[in-house]
A and B are shown apart, each in its own frame.
Chain A
Amino acid sequence: MGLDPIRYKPWKGQRTEHAKRFLVITDHVFRQKLRSKWLLGIIILGSILVWVFPILIFSLSPHDSLTTEMMLETLQNDVLFIFVLIAASLVCADLISEDLRGNSLVLYLYRALRPERYLLGKVLGALLVMSLFTLIPPIALGIAVTATQTGPDYLASAEVIARTVLAAVLTTIFFVPMGMMLSSLTTKRTYAAVGIFMFFFTMTIVAGIFSESDINWQLLGPGNLLNFWYDVIFGEPLPEGLSSAGMAIMTFILLVPPLIVTYWRILSKGVGK
Chain B
Amino acid sequence: MNDALRTVGHDDEDKEAAGTVSAKDVVMRYGNIMALDHLSMEIPTGIVGLLGPNGAGKSTFIKAVLGLVEPQGGTITVGGLDSKQNVLIIRDRVGYMPEHDCLVEVMTGVELVSYYGMISGMSKNDSIPRSHEVLDFVGIGEERYRPISSYSTGMKQRVKLAQAIVHDPDLLFLDEPTNGMDPLGREEMLDLIERIAAGHKSILVSSHILQDMERVCEHVIIINNGRAVAQGSLKNLLGAQEGRMKLVARGIPEDLASFIKYLEREQKVISTSEEHGQVTVVLILRGPSGEIFAAAKNAGVQVRSLTSDLSTLEEVFIRSV
Question: B122 contacts A271, CB within 8 Å?
Answer: no
Residue B115 CB within 8 A of the other chain: yes
Question: A18 contacts B4, CB within 8 Å?
Answer: yes
**Distance of A39 from chain B, by nearest CB (Å):** 14
Given A10-B9, A16-B121; A110-B91 close (CB under 8 Å): yes
Given A10-B9, A15-B6; A108-B119 close (CB under 8 Å): yes
Question: B8 contacts A102, CB within 8 Å?
Answer: no
**Distance of A91 from chain B, by nearest CB (Å):** 16
Bound complex: CA of A1 vs CA of B185, how far in Å? 9
User: Which residues of chain B are within 8 angstroms of A18 by Cβ–Cβ distance?
Assistant: 3-4, 88, 121
What 0/1 pattern do residues 105 to 132 of A give for CB contact below 8 A with B? 0111111111000000000000000000
Closest to B62 in A: A110
Residue B199 CB within 8 A of the other chain: yes
Residue B167 CB within 8 A of the other chain: yes
Given A3-B188, A24-B118, A112-B120; A98-B91 close (CB under 8 Å): no
Question: B68 contacts A102, CB within 8 Å?
Answer: no
A:53-111 near B, CB below 8 Å: 98-99, 102-104, 106-111
Closest to A94 in B: B106
**Distance of B124 from chain A, by nearest CB (Å):** 9
What 0/1 pattern do residues 169 to 203 of B give for CB contact below 8 A with A? 00000000000000001001001100110110000
Question: B104 contacts A4, CB within 8 Å?
Answer: no
Given A8-B196, A21-B121; A14-B88 close (CB under 8 Å): no
Question: A103 contacts B101, CB within 8 Å?
Answer: yes
Question: A9 contacts B133, CB within 8 Å?
Answer: yes
Question: A102 contacts B121, CB within 8 Å?
Answer: no
Question: A111 contacts B91, CB within 8 Å?
Answer: yes
User: Which residues of chain A are within 8 angstroms of B115 by Cβ–Cβ distance?
Assistant: 24, 28
Given A25-B119, A111-B91, A112-B91; A11-B168 close (CB under 8 Å): yes
Question: B199 contacts A113, CB within 8 Å?
Answer: no
Closest to A99 in B: B104
What 0/1 pattern do residues 131 to 167 of B give for CB contact below 8 A with A? 0010011011100000000000011000000010111
Q: Which of B94, B100, B163, B192 contacts A103 (CB 8 A)?
A: B100
User: Which residues of chain B are within 8 angstroms of A19 by Cβ–Cβ distance?
Assistant: 4
User: Which residues of chain B are within 8 angstroms of A2 by Cβ–Cβ distance?
Assistant: 139, 188
Count the A residues whose beta carbon is within 8 Å of the partner chain — how many? Answer: 39
Q: Which of A4, A7, A99, A113 contacts B119 (CB 8 A)?
A: A113
Question: B122 contacts A15, CB within 8 Å?
Answer: yes
Residue B219 CB within 8 A of the other chain: no
What 0/1 pattern do residues 111 to 123 of B give for CB contact below 8 A with A? 0000110111111
User: Which residues of chain B are within 8 angstroms of A15 by Cβ–Cβ distance?
Assistant: 4-6, 8, 92, 120-122, 167
Question: B68 contacts A13, CB within 8 Å?
Answer: no
Bound complex: CA of A12 vs CA of B119, how far in Å? 16
**Distance of A116 from chain B, by nearest CB (Å):** 13
Question: A106 contacts B192, CB within 8 Å?
Answer: no
User: Which residues of chain A are within 8 angstroms of B137 by Cβ–Cβ distance?
Assistant: 6, 8-9
- 8 A-B pairs (CB sep. < 8 Å): A10-B168, A11-B122, A14-B6, A18-B3, A18-B4, A21-B121, A108-B119, A110-B68
Given A4-B136, A273-B98, 20 more pairs with CB closer than 8 A: A3-B188, A3-B192, A7-B198, A8-B165, A8-B198, A11-B130, A11-B167, A13-B123, A14-B5, A15-B5, A16-B123, A19-B4, A21-B121, A107-B96, A109-B68, A110-B91, A110-B96, A111-B92, A270-B68, A273-B100
What 4 pairs across the A-B complex have the smallest Cβ distances? A15-B121, A11-B168, A17-B4, A112-B88
